[in-house]
Amino acid sequence: MAHPVFTVESQETIQKKAQVNLLPCRIHHDGNISPIDTYWSPDEGEEQTKTAYIRGRKLHGKSVKLPEGYYGSVVEKSAPKKPEEPRREDLDEDVEIQEEPEDQLEVGGMQGKATFDEFTIWGHEALANASEDPYLRSMEEWISFAEQIHSYTPPEPSKPQN
């Protein structure tokens, strides 16, 4: 059986902005809660810091902006679908396609819901820092790595030999 193919819908058409929080806890709920202020009301501090309480535990938050040219995306998994059959008018008349059903690829996808250009990262009893927090450190390392592999330095012109 072929491995599934994964696609992500283009983010250019998404207008909704999300407020993203990375919390050091697991919440076993994925539905709506209203009103949110009953459960989550962080206090703004100085230098882009925040303080909040969840189930009696104090959390310290720090706003982190994504670098220029980057944005985050909130996506939702969509149902896998089979690829479309080629149209008959696109094929030559003497070409016959024989394809087994198990050879067809399943195409799974993610549908964009919102974008963000900053997020708040929360820690217990102290602010998160890049050297210790795995999310913050991995984001910084990934951006550095991505810039390295996508950068291009043209070769220097060779000097004529005498």
Query: Which pLDDT band, with edges at 50, 70 and 90, does 112 fall under?
Result: confident
pLDDT tens digits along 15-68: 889 889 988 788 788 888 888 788 788 999 887 789 998 888 899 999 888 888
Instruction: Decide if 99 is inside a domain.
Output: no
Residue 126 belongs to some domain of the structure: yes
| Nearest residue to 119 via CA among 30, 22, 46 | 22
* CATH value at residue 17: 2.40.128.680
103, pLDDT greater than 60: no
pLDDT confidence of residue 50: 92
Domain presence at residue 44 = yes
161, part of any domain: no
- Is residue 97 situated within a structural domain? no
pLDDT of residue 142: 86
Is 137 in contact with 38 (CB distance < 8 Å)?
no
- Amino acid of residue 91: L
- The pLDDT value recorded for residue 155 is 79
Q: Which residues contact 77 (CB under 8 A, 6 or more apart)?
A: 108, 109, 110, 111
pLDDT at 51 (0 to 100): 92
- For the chain, the DSSP string reads -PPPEEEE--STT---B--EEE-SS-----S--S-GGGT--PEE-STTEEEEEETTEEEEEEEEEPPTT--EEEEEEEEEEPPPPPPGGGS-TT------GGGSPPEEEEEEEEEESEEEEEEESS---TTT-HHHHHHHHHHHHHHHHH---PPPPPPPP-
> Count of domains in the chain?
1
pLDDT of residue 28: 85
Quick check: 22 and 137 in contact, CB under 8 A? no
Q: What percent of the chain has pLDDT over 90?
A: 8
Residue 9 lies in a domain: yes
Which residue segment(s) compose the domain that 146 sits in?
Answer: 5-81+104-150
User: In angstroms, how far is the first alpha carbon of the chain from the final one?
Assistant: 61
What pTM does this model have?
0.66
More confident residue, 85 or 135: 135
Confirm whether 155 is domain-assigned: no
